[in-house]
Amino acid sequence: MNSHKLKKSAATIVMVLTSAASIVQPVSAAQTTPAAAVSSATAGSKETQAAKRKLLGEKQVQIEHEALESITGTQNALLALQKQDGKKAMALLKEVSGKLGIVLAKYPALKLIPANVEADVEDFATSDHGTDVKQVQNLLDQAGALLDQHKVQDARKMLAQLVSEVRITTTSIPLGTFPAAIKDASALIDKGKRDEAEAALYDVLNMLVKTTEIIPLPVLRSEALLTEASELEHKEDLSQQASRDAILKLTQEAKNELQLAQTLGYGTQDDYKLLYTAIDDMKDVIHSKKSAAAWDKVKSTFFDLKNKLIYPAK
């Protein structure tokens, strides 16, 4: 495959990702429409879905409406050129330049502007009730036994199952090169050089920068459980004993999720120690004057852990 075909293939993938406008929308443009395309190996638990929505919500606020429209406009201009409609392509690229001008005016010092976010969820579960540490440890032991027998490929297949994570991929526009490249492509169309303009637009789409972060799902589920637990202390329709029992149940479930993440290899035992301690300390002061400070400690410790466990895809 030559370099032009390689560029064309990569740009085509980008076009597929950005063409589903009804699926991929920026929050600023349509608050009621998900701003990311999501695929999942399993339906996931209530906590998984809540964690995923929260995570995407956090990422989507970075999306600029004009940035996403700049990509879809460039894609549509390329399609117009392929249909020999240079006039339409020219009009579309003019709109793209206008939208990029808005972005540049808002963020003159920014090198990359996020334009699209996608979430790919892979959540390992061995039963309808999810996965627990014992199940994972059992598979790890089986894989270890296979390795001892030099059955590397069998062990590899078993270990490949032990994944519970969400991959957040952000597509960004390089503001230092993308706007000028759009103008260059427009100039080629104006000169009647449609083939050269088409090749230039493929190059433009290949300028887009994609970065992927991996975040452990058990950690996100734990965060959702702890958030729910922290809100129960102030529920007026529950007695103190009832809310305490519910809080203890949720915090134990949250710790179970953290232990699952640890067993799956997302971080080391030392990474989790401070959070386990903060959760245990909080249990001792429910419905007391020290409760608010204890919950703040849990939240700040959790924040530090989550940031430590988020890592770029290789």
- In tens, the pLDDT along 269-297 reads 999 999 999 999 999 999 899 999 999 99
- In tens, the pLDDT along 175-226 reads 999 999 999 999 999 999 999 999 999 999 999 999 999 999 999 889 989 9
Candidates 116, 114, 138, 115; CA nearest to 126 is 138
> Can you give the pTM of this predicted structure?
0.74
| pLDDT of amino acid 45 | 63
Alpha carbon of residue 138 to chain centroid: 30
Mean local confidence (pLDDT), 224-248: 88
CB 164 within 8 A of CB 186: no
CB 122 within 8 A of CB 163: yes
| pLDDT of amino acid 139 | 92
∠ at Cα 63 (59, 69), nearest 5°? 145
- In tens, the pLDDT along 40-91 reads 333 356 666 766 777 777 776 678 889 999 999 999 999 999 999 999 999 9
Domain positions in the chain are 3-40+59-120+166-207, 125-160, 217-312
Candidates 194, 191, 185, 184; CA nearest to 86 is 194
Token representation of residue 35: 């701003």
Among 198-202, 235-239, 251-255, name the one with the lowest average pLDDT: 235-239
Torsion-angle region of residue 245: left (phi > 0), alpha (psi -120 to 50) or beta? Answer: alpha
The CATH number for 217-312, chosen from 1.10.3470, 1.20.120, 1.10.10, 1.10.1330, is 1.20.120
